[in-house]
Homo-oligomer: A and B are copies of this chain.
């Protein structure tokens, strides 16, 4: 194991991006992700990359639109309200199939809300906050090291699938500092040639990057079918999750990101009390790892969804579980953090209920 250094999640994301060859960053300040533009403003010039502090989040996402069409590995970053402003641009980027990384360091909402961590932008990221049928590859890291590793992968998947990737983090994982091993970048897929790049039409036919499909009348339908085929392919190829003590579990907790860390703490407490609890932690939120949930649902008595929102992630869990077992919920929005104790309580009440029925 190589030497480790102490980094905040936001900083680790930046350094991983630089290591992975990201050479264009455009963003607009917003707490709790300010370390990102600040780090990039310093780091990009060092690697002959470009840092632009945009006049707005909308300008930033559209600068990324242009940078990606120019062939650069590029990214933008913001937090909840700023990500809402990027929705039109995100819809355009998915249609144009331009690879890029978009980071959402989630904070409390709705509205200006507050700057505590939150997971209430799940629907926006996973179902689509923009218009039209599109998908983002959505990653939910739970540690600073994982932020570092997934950020590197994100650029590969973005290029490989020609699709934007979103890192759905939160104010805690972005702000907390942990030891990180700065692994050198190694592509994890064969990267396709970027034959869509606009670099002047020297010695080739002119290229067009566009999202308008007028003629023939069904041109846009055809384009959507093409996108849907790609999405199906991604769903079949990409699905990451972690299982923790699910083997003999009677109750399985479903949680992602920082919430899963707290859940693990609760599970340790519950195990001490002799309650067999496990955890399934999706790492890719889209594609959603349905199989482990479907499988677990067959064996365990109940599931418990814990999320820092009033119930968004739970819909995908329910669709995956397909009514094979009851799904309980523990969650709130607005910057609420679950504690190990609260989760434990919930687990105990679930266990007790079962015991009763058992009699």
A37 interface residue (CB < 8 Å to B): no
Copies per complex? 2
Known: A85-B87, A133-B310, A133-B312. A92 touches B112 (CB 8 A): yes
- Across the interface, which residues of B come within 8 angstroms of A211, CB to CB? 110-113
Q: How long is the Cα–Cα vector from A323 to B327 in the complex, in angstroms?
A: 14
- Across the interface, which residues of B come within 8 angstroms of A224, CB to CB? 310, 332-334, 336
- Nearest CB in chain B: distance from A18 CB, A: 28
Known: A318-B319, A334-B213. A220 touches B130 (CB 8 A): no
**A residues lining the B interface (CB < 8 Å):** 58, 80-81, 83-85, 87-88, 91-92, 94-96, 106, 108-114, 116, 118, 120-121, 123-124, 127-134, 210-214, 217-225, 227-228, 309-312, 315, 318-319, 322-323, 332-336
Q: How long is the Cα–Cα vector from A92 to B315 in the complex, in angstroms?
A: 24
Contact B336–A131 (Cβ < 8 Å): no
- Across the interface, which residues of B come within 8 angstroms of A334, CB to CB? 132-133, 213, 218, 220-224
Closest chain B residue, CB of each to CB of A121: B131
Contact A218–B336 (Cβ < 8 Å): yes
Known: A111-B91, A212-B114. A130 touches B84 (CB 8 A): yes
Known: A81-B88, A91-B110, A127-B127. A133 touches B335 (CB 8 A): no
Contact A124–B131 (Cβ < 8 Å): yes
Known: A225-B332, A334-B220. A118 touches B130 (CB 8 A): no
A-B contact pairs, 15 of them (CB 8 A): A80-B132, A83-B131, A96-B111, A110-B130, A110-B134, A110-B227, A112-B212, A113-B132, A113-B220, A121-B132, A124-B131, A133-B333, A221-B335, A224-B334, A225-B332
Contact A128–B123 (Cβ < 8 Å): yes
Closest chain B residue, CB of each to CB of A324: B323
Contact B312–A315 (Cβ < 8 Å): no
| A-B complex: 10 closest residue pairs judged by Cβ atoms | A109-B132, A111-B211, A110-B132, A95-B111, A80-B131, A220-B334, A224-B334, A129-B129, A133-B333, A84-B88
Closest chain B residue, CB of each to CB of A322: B323
Q: How long is the Cα–Cα vector from A134 to B108 in the complex, in angstroms?
A: 12
Known: A113-B213, A211-B112, A220-B114. A129 touches B336 (CB 8 A): no
- Nearest CB in chain B: distance from A356 CB, A: 24
Contact A129–B132 (Cβ < 8 Å): no
Q: How long is the Cα–Cα vector from A322 to B324 in the complex, in angstroms?
A: 10
- Nearest CB in chain B: distance from A323 CB, A: 4
- Nearest CB in chain B: distance from A287 CB, A: 14
